[in-house]
Amino acid sequence: MGTFDVESTVGNQLAGSDRLARQLSFILEIDKAKNVLRRSRILDESRRENDAEHSWHLAMMALLLSEYANEPVDVCKVIKMTLVHDIVEIDAGDTFAYDGPSHDDKEEREQKAADRIFGLLPEDQRDEMRSLWMEFEKRETPEAKFAAALDRLQPMMLNFFTKGSTWREYDIPKDRVTSFNEHMTHGSAQLWEYAKGLIDLAAQRGYLRP
Least confident interval from 12-26, 71-85, 133-147: 12-26
Q: Which residues contact 50 (CB under 8 A, 6 or more apart)?
A: 33, 34, 35, 36, 37, 38
Q: What is the pLDDT of residue 102?
A: 58
| C-beta pairs of 135-142 under 8 Å, 24+ apart in sequence | 135/81, 136/81, 136/84, 136/85, 137/85, 137/110, 139/183, 139/186, 139/187, 142/69, 142/70, 142/71, 142/72, 142/73, 142/187
CA distance 26 to 44: 32
pLDDT beyond 90 at 84: yes
Determine, yes or no, domain membership for 72. yes
Between these two residues, 1 and 91, which has the higher pLDDT value? Answer: 91
Q: Distances from the Cα of 148 to the Cαs of 29, 51, 167, in angstroms?
A: 24, 15, 20
Between these two residues, 11 and 147, which has the higher pLDDT value? Answer: 147
Q: What is the pLDDT of residue 99?
A: 72
CATH code, 43: 1.10.3210.10
CA distance 135 to 148: 10
Q: What is the pLDDT of residue 183?
A: 97
Q: What is the pLDDT of residue 103?
A: 65
Give tens-digit pLDDT for 29-66: 999 999 999 999 999 999 999 999 999 999 999 999 99
Q: What is the pLDDT of residue 171?
A: 96
Q: What is the pLDDT of residue 105?
A: 85
Per-residue pLDDT averaged across 16-33, rounded?
94
Mean pLDDT over the full length of the chain: 93
Determine, yes or no, domain membership for 157. yes
pLDDT beyond 90 at 100: no
Give tens-digit pLDDT for 125-169: 999 999 999 999 999 999 999 999 999 999 999 999 999 999 999
Determine, yes or no, domain membership for 78. yes
- Please state, as a whole number, how many other Cβ atoms lie within 10 Å of the Cβ of residue 18: 11
Determine, yes or no, domain membership for 148. yes
Determine, yes or no, domain membership for 7. no
pTM of the model: 0.91
Determine, yes or no, domain membership for 27. no
Range of the domain at 96: 37-205
Determine, yes or no, domain membership for 8. no
Contact indicator for 26, 114 with CB cutoff of 8 Å: no
Determine, yes or no, domain membership for 185. yes
Domain count of the chain? 1
Q: What are phi and psi of 42, to 5 degrees?
A: -70, 165
